[in-house]
Amino acid sequence: MLQKLHQLKDKALQALKMVSDSEELESWRIEHLGRKSELNQILHDVGRLPPEERPAVGRLTNEVKLALETAYEGKAEALKRQELERALREERIDVTLPGRPVSLGRLHLTTQTLREIYAIFGQMGFQVYESPDVETDELNFGLLNMPPHHPARDMWDTFWISDEVLLRTHTSPGQIRVMRERCPEPIRVILPGKCYRYEQVTARSEHQFYQVEGLAVGHAITMTDLIGTLTEFARRFYGPERRIRIRGSYFPFTEPSIEADMDCILCDGEGCRVCRYSGWLEICGAGMVHPVVLENGGYDPDEWNGFAFGFGVERPAMVKYSIDDIRLFYGNDLRFLRQF
């Protein structure tokens, strides 16, 4: 029996040397160390041997088992290392391959223009105040001194959501919001944002566009402050040689109301297609904040006054970059957008 055990061990170790992958190793384990292996069988039968043989056979069987298990583990380790080396050799990453190009986005021309506007007004002490695109009839019109059925409402063709709710037609409702929030502090803010008008889309007008509103509320503010602010803006945005012209106008929420024109940057006031041979480009509507509007914002018009202005964002960018069709802004044509 002892000799048989020695043979069994030699045979198993011999077979292990031939094993070359993990599948073969598993078969080897089942055959030589598994439940149905010869070794296991012997271990099982030790009890049936004559008592004087039992200790020696038992001890040797355990020794053989331990030796085979140790050899098995050593082989498993060796195979694992071999596999790793093969993988390292064959599955090496080629770091010299050029990478896939990452496509870089860019800021939309409108965003760039808005940021330029924020920077200019920021230097003049104006904060940026954002207000919602979806507004109530009351804020867009009523509190701006246009009660229901006021004819001036016709100046803004409106996208209605319900009888009371609409898409803002201008950034002016933000005036009421900021006044109610800041009252009784003085105010110097710009209110940028998208506006919506139920209008035919043409090369000159879109039904969605950006405006920037300006609002200053304080004591003894004058029309001269307003004109100075607009002139300063025009010169910083378009160039130091620009001139401003003021015309009387009408808005229900300012009194008096004005419109400001700037000499045409393309022809220097000589007259061209862009300025329609007038030499002037309209830049904004403005005026002194109407007492009713101040009151609706919470300010006593006997003590407080202020100015407000509002201008579009795409049109100035069009003039500055010689863009002749406003529809290009939101047409999502990368050939256009990539130029800026």
Chain contacts with ligand PHE (rule: CB under 6 A): 170, 172, 213, 251, 254, 285-287, 308-310
CB of 311 vs ligand PHE, minimal distance in Å: 7
Name the one residue in this structure whose structure tokens are 């010689």: 322
Nearest-approach distance from CB 142 to ligand PHE, in angstroms: 15
Least CB distance from residue 189 to ligand PHE, whole Å?
12
Q: Minimum distance between the CB of residue 170 and ligand PHE, rounded to whole angstroms?
A: 3
At closest approach, how far in Å is the CB of 286 from ligand PHE? Answer: 5
Shortest Å distance, C-beta 259 to ligand PHE: 8
Q: Please, which residue, 172 or 296, has the CB nearer to ligand PHE?
A: 172
In 162-292, which ranges are E strands?
Answer: 165-167, 187-196, 208-218, 244-251, 254-263, 280-289
Element spanning 308, H or E = strand 305-312
Nearest to ligand PHE of 308, 323 (CB atom): 308
Please report, to the nearest 10 degrees, the dihedral formed by the alpha carbons of residues 213, 221, 246, 153 taken in order: 50
Between 61 and 169, CB nearer to ligand PHE:
169
Gap between the Cα atoms of 126 and 188, Å rounded: 5
Asked whether 171 and 310 are in contact (CB, 8 A), the reply is yes
3-state percent helix, strand, coil for the chain, nearest multiple of 5:
45, 20, 35
Decide the pairing of beta strands 254-263 and 280-289.
Answer: antiparallel
Whether the bond between 184 and the residue before it is cis, its omega within 30 degrees of 0, is yes
State which residue, 213 or 314, has the beta carbon closest to ligand PHE.
Answer: 213
CB of 193 or CB of 285, closer to ligand PHE? 285
149 contacts: CB under 8 Å, gap ≥ 6: none
Decide whether 37 or 169 has the Cβ nearer to ligand PHE.
169
Closer residue to ligand PHE, CB minimum distance, 259 or 269 = 259
Residue with tokens 């307003």: 226
Please report, in angstroms and rounded to a whole number, the separation of the first and last CA atoms in the chain: 92
- Measure the CA–CA gap between 212 and 214, rounded to whole angstroms: 7
Q: What tokens does 236 get? A: 């910083």
Shortest Å, Cβ 263 to ligand PHE: 21
Q: How far is the CB of 215 from ligand PHE (least distance, A)?
A: 8
> Between 275 and 283, whose beta carbon lies closer to ligand PHE?
283
| Nearest residue to ligand PHE on Cβ basis | 310
Among residues 235, 139, 234, which one has the least CA distance to residue 193? Answer: 139
